[in-house]
Structure 1
Amino acid sequence: MKKLFLMVMAVWAGLAGTAAAQNSLSPAEATVYEGDKLADEGAWCWFADPRALHYENASGTINSSYVGYIDVHGAVKAVQYDFLKGRRSEVLIRSYFQPDDHNNPTFLVLPDERVMIFYSRHTDEPCFYYRISQVPGDITTLGEEKKILTKDNTTYPSPFILSDDPEHIYLCWRGIRWHPTIARLSLPDENDEVQIDWGPYQMVQSTGARPYAKYYSNGKDRIMFTYTTGHPDNENPNWLYLNRVNIKTLQLEDVQGKVLSTIADGPFKVNRTEQYAVDYPVAVVDHTPGVRDWVWQVATDKQGHPVIAMVKISGDKKKHDYYYTYWDGQAWK
């Protein structure tokens, strides 16, 4: 990750230098860098993660980026760029899927360094699909398609492996009652089959119809997720919340570690009343009156505190203001 960060910073520094050089050029001489196109047709939705992943191993045998998307024909695809070989490969993961941006694939690097790819249809089929590369780090060698059956609808898979439990995959998605849902899976066996050994469980129950969640882990023992009361088209006001999953206790916590619920006992009830904000002041990230909150991303700062990219939309939906909100150790700022 440090190498990736340095690479990104180097790109930014290069772009800044290019911009500075362009300031001394005439308009006719100046050029604008508009990025490198990966695919002619492709889309993704930002509620399934990671949609793109960079992986380098310590031995130096793997240094690749993977970017997933779905095209207008309903083909689930990914681009792999191998930095060691300087080679770009487009991989067809699945044909004849829904042409719907909800269905973009997400990636997980397994302990044996093979890459596992998750994808699902948009809430009309109770299962996830997955394929696993047969060669470490190389998704051009995907094995056969497998299924994870569920009782309820599936959308937006976000998979994690954490160092305190390296024998399991934790999969989060929009599932039971269209709410944040979690299950624990076994690692793939010799036939690449996985089994659900805990869950699926609905984690929260909102007064809104469909909370939208973004997930992030500390890589060790907790998965944090930030979510709204519901969709901002339908909720006014629309609050923003953050909870954490403790994988050791399988309980839901606030950002300070206060236990909110035992996940298997039933969903934690969430609403947007002032009394709720009094009762759970740390679990509520934003409750600006008359504002429709919307969430883009969650990550952590150097101290491990959550930072959330978000949008505040006016009640009439004509104004969108962009913010980041962060936990400073004592309060949300």
Structure 2
Amino acid sequence: MLLSSLALLLLHPQLDQTITDDGVWCWFADPRAVAAGGAIYAGWTSHVGSIVVGKVAPWGLSPETFTLREELQADDHTNPSLLLLPNNRLMAFYSKHSGPDMFMRETVESVETSIQNWTPERKLNLNPNAEPPHSGYCYPNPVYLAEEQRILMTWRGTEWKPILSWSDNLGRTWTKGKILFAKEGADPDNRPYIKVAADGKSRMHFLATDGHPSSEPTNSVYHFYYEMGAFYRADGTQIATVQTLPVRPENCDLVYDGRVENIRAWIWDVAVSDDGYPVAVYARLPERNHHEYYYARWDGSRWTDRKITDGGGWFPQTTPGTIESEPYYSGGVVLDHSDPRIVVLSKPNGGRFEIQRWVTNDYGDTWSSSTLAVPSGYAAVRPVVARGQSNSASYVLWMDLQRYSHWTNYFGSIKGLWDDRGPLSNQPQPAANRRALSQALNLHP
């Protein structure tokens, strides 16, 4: 059975598998999936709000799961974010949607040994002092920087602002959080959004917005990075330190200026290229039902910003007779962090959102595309590429929805597939693809 499943995978590497038949996630708590030892580890929340981690073996065996918390909250914002530690243990962070507590758990042994044994749930009381209702937790984003031996984590916290904390002892103790990014004199209800990525060594990159696109008609996109206790623009100009936080938007790189175009935007992903430069993808939102995906890249002296493709409109199923409450919920666009020339996105085709791979070899000037997966339900959306993979094959995951009318009213599955990426020149080379996949899975070609 094992050999036949493996042979099938190598001959047809783009056959998708169901990781769970009950799972969803939001896109602001990442990593949602990481790679270790040839397997993929992903986290999601069920339709009753249980927080679950799953292990996906590369040879087609049934995924293994562990429930971190039963029925925390039925809300897709509660999905866990995962961090693989240098000792190969797995950390998970999660909270209710703007809930009073952040929770952390960790496997007691290497994830390659088992995902069934976890430390007891810990509450992390890290928000700066604030009175309710502006002191909740949501969207944890942890990274590890080897040169500092430091875990840094952001989340949405006090006054709905991005908060930063860190641990220098693999999570045993944490610094009190500080507001990371905010306008001078910002309203307590102003909600900047953050996406992060790390080079694994010394830098943590941030992509940020003015706020929520429903509240910010010219919502713009900013970039800055952290290194050794300070914050910088992409050209290396220092703009803040951990002692002088928060970072101010006007001091950051302006990746996209919504005031010039008079078009709001929302961020989706940021990654680091082989040359160490940041790459970002985001959505421009000219109309409620017209979204466009863009690819921005720092080239060493300036930001370039190129359109990838139209993204359709919102994916939620609007209740008849009502106005859509989340018109800026695009299907989604993310980067392959092991090769940011590759974008995985969701857009409508024939009326249903499907998962597509888009590739550029000229920094976004031109693109080739192919379909990776079509939905078994009404929409395949919010793709993600597992972090920490080789540069020869990637595991792509997405939500396959049966219904979704609101972030508290949904039912869907999480699906995934090994994408051997195909030839980036868009010409068929099946033998080479199978060899690359075999090497990525530590198999003999």
Q: Does the TM-score normalized on the shorter chain lie above 0.5?
A: yes
Q: CA deviation at 1:98?
A: 0.9
Residue 263 of structure 1 deviates from its aligned partner by 2.6
1:54 corresponds, among 35, 42, 66, to 35
The answer to whether the 8 A contact 1:154-1:173 is kept is: yes
Per-residue Cα deviation, 1:300-327 (whole angstroms, up to 9, x for no partner):
222121111111101x423211111111
What residue in structure 1 maps to residue 172 of structure 2?
194
CA distance in 1, matches of 2:47, 2:289: 29
| Residue equivalent to 2:224 | 243
Task: Give the CA deviation at 1:36.
Answer: 1.5
Structure 1 residue 76, shift from structure 2 partner: 0.5
Unaligned ranges ≥5, structure 2: 1-8, 128-134, 305-445
Q: CA deviation at 1:97?
A: 0.5
**Root-mean-square deviation (Å):** 2.3
The match for 1:155 is 138
The answer to whether the 8 A contact 1:89-1:140 is kept is: no
Shift of 1:13: 8.9
Contact 1:123–1:154, Cα closer than 8 Å, also in 2? yes
Corresponding residue of 1:257: 236
Does the Cα contact within 8 Å between 1:199 and 1:264 map onto a contact in 2?
no
- Alpha carbons 2:22, 2:46 under 8 Å: kept: yes
> Is 1:117 matched with 2:92?
yes
Match of 2:254 in 1: 284
- Rounded to whole Å, the distance in 1 between the matches of 2:268 and 2:201 is 23
Question: Kindly tell me: are residues 266 and 236 of structure 1, through their superposed partners in 2, closer, same or farther at Cα, counting changes over 3 Å?
Answer: same
User: Which deviations, in whole Å up to 9, do the C-alpha atoms of 1:130-152 show, x marking residues without a partner?
Assistant: 11112211222222211211243
In the alignment, the residues of structure 2 paired with residue 147 and residue 41 of structure 1 have an alpha-carbon distance, to the nearest angstrom, of: 26
In structure 1, the residue matched to 2:82 is 107
Which among 159, 162, 169 is matched to residue 177 of structure 1?
Answer: 159
Given that 2:126 and 2:165 are in contact with CA atoms closer than 8 Å, whether structure 1 keeps it comes out as no
Matched-pair contact (CA < 8 Å) for 2:99–2:138:
no
Partner of 1:4: none
- State the alpha-carbon separation in 2 of the partners of residues 153 and 264 from structure 1: 23
Shift of 1:220: 0.9
SS at match of 1:308: strand
Q: Distance in 1 between matches of 2:10 and 2:200?
A: 26
Structure 1 residue 224, shift from structure 2 partner? 0.6
- Alpha-carbon distance in structure 2 between the residues aligned to 1:11 and 1:43: 28
**What letter is aligned with 1:112?**
N
**Equivalent residue in structure 2 for 1:134, among 108, 114, 118:** 108
1:295 maps to: 267
Matched, 1:308 2:283: no
- Aligned counterparts of 2:12 and 2:169: Cα–Cα separation in 1: 40
Give the counterpart letter for 2:246 in structure 1.
P
**Matches of 2:300 and 2:12, distance apart in 1:** 31
Task: Letter of the 2:280 partner, please give it.
Answer: I
Runs of 4+ in 1 over 4 A off after TM superposition: 10-15, 83-87
**Offset, 1:64:** 2.1
Structure 2 CA distance, aligned partners of 1:295 and 1:13? 33
Contact 1:157 1:173 in 2 (8 A): yes
1:69 alignment partner in structure 2? 44
Give me the TM-score of the superposition, normalised by structure 1: 0.78
Q: In structure 1, what residue type is equivalent to 2:173?
A: Q
Task: Extract unaligned runs of 5+ from structure 1.
Answer: 1-9, 16-32, 57-62, 271-275
The aligned counterpart of 1:144 is: 120
Query: Which of 259, 269, 279 does residue 248 from structure 2 map onto?
Result: 269
- Deviation, 1:51, is 0.4
- The number of aligned residues is 281
Q: Secondary structure of the residue that 1:142 maps to in structure 2?
A: coil
Taking the aligned partners of 2:300 and 2:44, their CA distance within structure 1 comes to 37
Q: CA contact under 8 A between 1:211 and 1:231: conserved in structure 2?
A: yes
Kept in 2: contact 1:148–1:194 (CA 8 A): no
Q: Match of 1:170, as an amino acid? A: L
Counterpart for residue 203 of structure 1? 180
Q: Higher relative contact order by CA 8 Å / sep ≥ 6: 1 or 2?
A: 2
Render the CA deviation track for 1:167-191: whole Å, top value 9, x for unaligned. Answer: x321111123212211012435xxx
Which amino acid counterpart does residue 252 of structure 1 have in structure 2? F
By how many angstroms is 1:330 displaced? 1.1
- Determine helix, strand or coil for the equivalent of 1:177: helix
